């Protein structure tokens, strides 16, 4: 599959927090933890993000990005779809599964409209036929690969979007200002590369895992909250 020359600006556009793929509507359990008093300030939020980064986002989601870069050059599409299905069922909370899938499908529609000349056919067919759930990390990896983004940049970019989504959610849930949120994010950015460095040797089909039981329970409990700002 022919790739265009890497354009940093094209990739930055995909990482924009204002990209209309639905991330603004999801807290992925953070709202539960704030309401229950587990996360009360920027330091607690940092600890939560680091837990998710090192024990879920880099060890599960990032491997979907790696799967695209590993199998797409070989034409082994079924392996990409298999990783996406496997990760989809590993997300314990229904709201989270649906949220990650909705964001992925919206990103697919948007990226295909933005770059109609790229080779979206295999992914389009797989999503339409149900063999690929089309979750956010898989579609992010697919779009990044088609745009010629290097693997490390694609993974760290995905991890960055996870951190940004979390911080932006916290700004609406907690007594935390924009400046404090940006300072927190700036301090977390180097951790994305470190987390991926630890997970880079994991095999997408065999080794992907998530180990965040408290966050999983919070995601499950979200739908029972008395009042909610977010869909998950």
Banded model confidence at residue 2, pLDDT cuts 50, 70, 90: low
**Average pLDDT value over all residues in the chain:** 93
Max distance between CA atoms of the chain, in angstroms, equals 51
pLDDT tens digits, residue range 162-214? 999 999 999 999 999 999 999 999 999 999 999 999 999 999 999 999 999 99
Helices (H), 72-212: 77-90, 94-114, 121-129, 136-146, 151-173, 178-199
Q: Where exactly are the structural domains of the chain?
A: 22-224
Listed in sequence order, the residues at least 6 apart from 92 whose beta carbon sits closer than 8 Å to its beta carbon are 216, 219, 220
For residue 1, pLDDT beyond 80: no
Q: What is the mean pLDDT of residues 215-225?
A: 92
Mean pLDDT in residue range 88-112: 93
For 86-106, what is the HEC assignment? HHHHHCCCHHHHHHHHHHHHH
- Domain spanning 22-224, CATH architecture: Orthogonal Bundle (1.10)
**Is 60 exceeded by the pLDDT of residue 46?**
yes
Could you tell me if 232 and 219 are in contact, meaning their C-beta atoms sit under 8 angstroms apart? yes
* Average of per-residue pLDDT across 36-43: 94
pTM of the model: 0.94
Q: What is the structure's pLDDT at 23?
A: 79
Q: What percent of the chain has pLDDT over 70?
A: 97
Band the pLDDT of 5: cuts 50, 70, 90.
Answer: low
93 in the Ramachandran plot: left (φ > 0), alpha (ψ -120 to 50) or beta?
beta
Among 4-8, 94-98, 139-143, 215-219, which stretch is predicted with the lowest mean pLDDT?
A: 4-8
Question: Mean pLDDT, to the nearest integer, of 12-28?
Answer: 85
Say whether pLDDT at 3 is over 70.
no
CB-CB contact of 147 with 10 (8 Å): yes
**Residue 62 in this model has a pLDDT that exceeds 70:** yes
Residue 78 binned pLDDT confidence (cut-offs 50, 70, 90): very high
Q: Is 64 a residue whose pLDDT tops 90?
A: yes
């Amino acid at each position: 599959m022919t790739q265009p020359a890497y354009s940093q600006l094209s990739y930055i556009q995909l990482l924009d927090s204002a990209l209309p793929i639905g991330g603004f509507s999801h807290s992925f359990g953070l709202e539960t933890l704030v309401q229950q008093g587990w996360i009360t300030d920027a330091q607690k939020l940092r600890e939560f993000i680091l837990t998710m980064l090192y024990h879920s986002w880099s060890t599960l989601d990032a491997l979907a990005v790696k799967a695209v870069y590993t199998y797409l050059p070989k034409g082994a599409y079924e392996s990409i779809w298999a990783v996406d299905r496997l990760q989809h069922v590993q997300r314990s909370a229904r709201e989270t599964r649906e949220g990650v899938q909705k964001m992925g499908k919206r990103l697919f529609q948007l990226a295909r409209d933005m770059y109609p000349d790229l080779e979206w056919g295999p992914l389009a067919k797989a999503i339409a036929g149900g063999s690929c759930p089309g979750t956010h990390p898989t579609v992010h990896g697919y779009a990044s690969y088609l745009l010629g983004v290097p693997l490390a940049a694609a993974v760290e970019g995905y991890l960055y979007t996870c951190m940004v989504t979390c911080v932006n959610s916290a700004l609406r849930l907690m007594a935390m200002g924009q400046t404090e949120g940006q300072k927190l994010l700036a301090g977390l950015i180097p951790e994305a590369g470190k987390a991926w460095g630890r997970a880079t040797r994991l095999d997408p089909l065999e080794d992907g895992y998530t180990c965040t039981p408290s966050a999983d329970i919070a995601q499950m409990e979200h739908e029972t909250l008395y009042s909610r700002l977010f869909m998950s």
